[in-house]
Amino acid sequence: MSATDIQAVFARQVFDSRGRPTVEAEVSLAGGASGRASAPSGASRGAAEAFELRDSDPDRFEGRGVSRAVAAVNGEIGALLTGRDALAQRGADQAMRDLDGTAQLSRLGGNAILAVSIALARAGAAATGQPLFRRLADLAGVSGPAMPMPMVNILSGGLHAGRGMDVQDFLVIPVGANSYTQALEWVLRVRAAAAALCQEAGLTTLLADEGGLSPGFADGAEALTLMVRAFERAGLRPGEDAAIALDIAASSLTDAEGRYVFQRAGRTLDSGAMIALLAEWTTRFPIISIEDGLGEEDWSAWPELTRHLGHIQLIGDDLFATQADRIARGVREGAGNAALIKINQNGTLSGTLDALEAARAGGFATVISARSGETEDPFIADLAVGVAGGQIKIGSVRTSERMAKYNQLLRLEEEGLPFAGSGFIRR
């Protein structure tokens, strides 16, 4: 046996930031190195993402238990991987996919497979004595790791805030910042200013699922106005120091006819009207990025959105679901110009790296993203740096499952890695 051979694979059920069960896996190697990782979980999930295997036992955790996924790791997956070389990440990821045998990893669970895949990468880094971000850079074939620009949730709606607002995320991008540390400081100022503005207006300052505020505006333009006022109050110039990003999460607004229902605003829009609304907001406010401006089924309208608004960043999240083939289709059809990258949408680390490569090859920007349900695992911070993903979306600057990642980026910044500012944002 060599030191990097996998000796044991183990999983347990732990709980995420919404108090829901998730899978935590550990991989230990013959030489004593080991790695641990846990799977995040989304609320506004795309239909094409890897399957989250849950127990569906209504008497336990509202059906959300993961004992079957845990059992898959402790049984079949462990048996498959034991004795294999931990440094052969791609081979192990492919073997887990083959063992599962389904397109969306629904038999063993994308949550089970992802947790093992990430734990394996950590064990591999530990065995080689590399920092995780360097190991990930090697696996991705990236020669220049770099600090990402954060896009940070300030106001929340949609499924993360009881549909208190129609649009899911109003985010700040501190475009004028010269370093990650400065970017984070500016974001903290904007977040504090937004809370103060809400408080003064008698609006709630309770936290949504990603730590954002949800003042419950019926009209998206009111939320956008508050964003601009928060920038000003934070001493930042709107559009120059700080710009706005939106995640419409349009798939979760879609009705049976494929139209978009803005419940709070009392309007239902077809694709053309949605594009017109987003174009209007973009003229009135310093918006430089829009995610899921149309739904995951609306492939035919995405090129039209891109023709109208392609001068800003147009990100596909549910649309691409971190699948290389869907991103390649987006590139071919001119659907958007950037891809959100979520490890658990894909299900393996290697598949996630393939999705990143598909985006890069097509000239699309990438944004490494957390989920609304997270754990204290800071993996995506190392991933964003290692693959030079350019941008990162973690949620608001509140609650430790988010701060664990922001803080890990502070540690990585000490490595002297370059920060390209807004240079990676597609415009």
The residues annotated as belonging to the active site are 210, 342
CA distance 227 to 246: 11
Cβ proximity to ligand PGA, 24 vs 317, nearer residue: 317
* Residue 49 contacts residue 321 (beta carbons within 8 Å): yes
Asked whether the beta carbons of 244 and 285 are under 8 A apart, the reply is: yes
- Is 296 near ligand PGA (CB under 6 A)? no
CA pseudo-torsion sign 345, 351, 355, 356: positive
Residue whose pair of structure tokens reads 């494929």 in the numeric block: 258
249 touches ligand PGA (CB under 6 A): yes
Binding site partner of 371, from Zn ion, ligand PGA, none, Cβ cut-off 5-8 A by kind: ligand PGA
DSSP-assigned letters across all residues of 264-321: TTTEEE-HHHHHHHHHHHHHHS-EEEEESSS-TT-TTTHHHHHHHHTTSEEEESTTTT
Report helix, strand or coil for 10.
strand
Q: What is the Cα–Cα distance from 382 to 203, expressed in whole angstroms?
A: 36
Q: Smallest distance, Å, CB 394 to Zn ion? A: 13
CA distances from 128 to 32, 85, 132, 342, 414 (A): 12, 12, 10, 26, 21
Alpha-carbon gap, residue 224 to 231, rounded angstroms: 11
Residue 74 phi/psi, 5-degree rounding, is -70, -15
Chosen from ligand PGA, Zn ion, none, partner binding at 369 (C-beta under 5 to 8 Å by type): ligand PGA
337 binds ligand PGA (CB under 6 A): no
How far is it, in rounded angstroms, from Cα 385 to Cα 363?
19
What is the closest distance, in whole angstroms, from the C-beta atom of residue 233 to ligand PGA in the complex? Answer: 26
Smallest gap from Cβ 248 to ligand PGA, in A, equals 9
Write out the two tokens for 309: 């608004």
**Among ligand PGA, Zn ion, none, partner that 372 touches (CB below 5 to 8 angstroms by kind):** ligand PGA
Among 77-85, 120-128, 146-154, 369-377, the segment contacting ligand PGA (CB under 6 A) = 369-377
Q: Binding ligand PGA by CB under 6 A: which of 6, 9, 16, 45? A: 45
Q: Which option in ligand PGA, Zn ion, none does residue 42 bind, with CB closer than 5 to 8 A by kind?
A: ligand PGA
**Residue span binding Zn ion (CB under 5 A) among the ranges 84-92, 260-268, 310-318, 387-395:** 310-318
Q: Greatest CA span in the chain, whole angstroms?
A: 66
In the bound complex, what is the minimum distance in angstroms from residue 178's beta carbon to ligand PGA? 27
Selected range binding ligand PGA among 28-36, 42-50, 79-87, 93-101, rule: CB under 6 A: 42-50
Residue 42 within binding range of ligand PGA, rule CB under 6 A:
yes
Interatomic CA distance for residues 247 and 139, integer angstroms: 30
Cβ-contact 372, 42 below 8 angstroms:
yes
One character per residue 280-299, x = contact with Zn ion (rule: CB under 5 A):
-----------x--------
Q: Are 73 and 26 in contact (CB under 8 A)?
A: no
The minimum distance between CB 369 and ligand PGA, in angstroms, equals 6
Q: Binding of ligand PGA at residue 371 (CB under 6 A)?
A: yes
Q: How far is the CB of 389 from Zn ion (least distance, A)?
A: 16
Residues 317-346 binding Zn ion (CB under 5 A) are 317
Nearest residue to 253 via CA among 163, 372, 335? 163
From 43-51, 227-235, 396-404, 417-425, span contacting ligand PGA (CB under 6 A)? 43-51
Q: Does 372 bind ligand PGA (CB under 6 A)?
A: yes
Min. distance of Cβ 369 from Zn ion in angstroms? 7
Any contact of residue 405 with ligand PGA (CB under 6 A)? no
Helices 324-333/302-309 angle, 10° precision: 60
Q: Are the CB atoms for 334 and 303 separated by under 8 Å?
A: yes
Tell the smallest beta-carbon distance from residue 143 to Zn ion (Å).
30
Q: Judged by CB under 5 A, does residue 247 bind Zn ion?
A: yes
Q: Which stretch binds ligand PGA (CB under 6 A): 29-37, 39-47, 56-64, 126-134?
A: 39-47
Q: Is 44 in the site for ligand PGA (CB under 6 A)?
A: yes
317 binds ligand PGA (CB under 6 A): yes
- Specify the residue, 29 or 253, whose C-beta has the smaller distance to ligand PGA: 253
Q: Which of 382, 354, 358 is nearest to 368 (CA)?
A: 382
Binding residues for ligand PGA (CB under 6 A) = 42-45, 168, 247, 249, 317, 369, 371-372
Binding residues for Zn ion (CB under 5 A) = 247, 291, 317
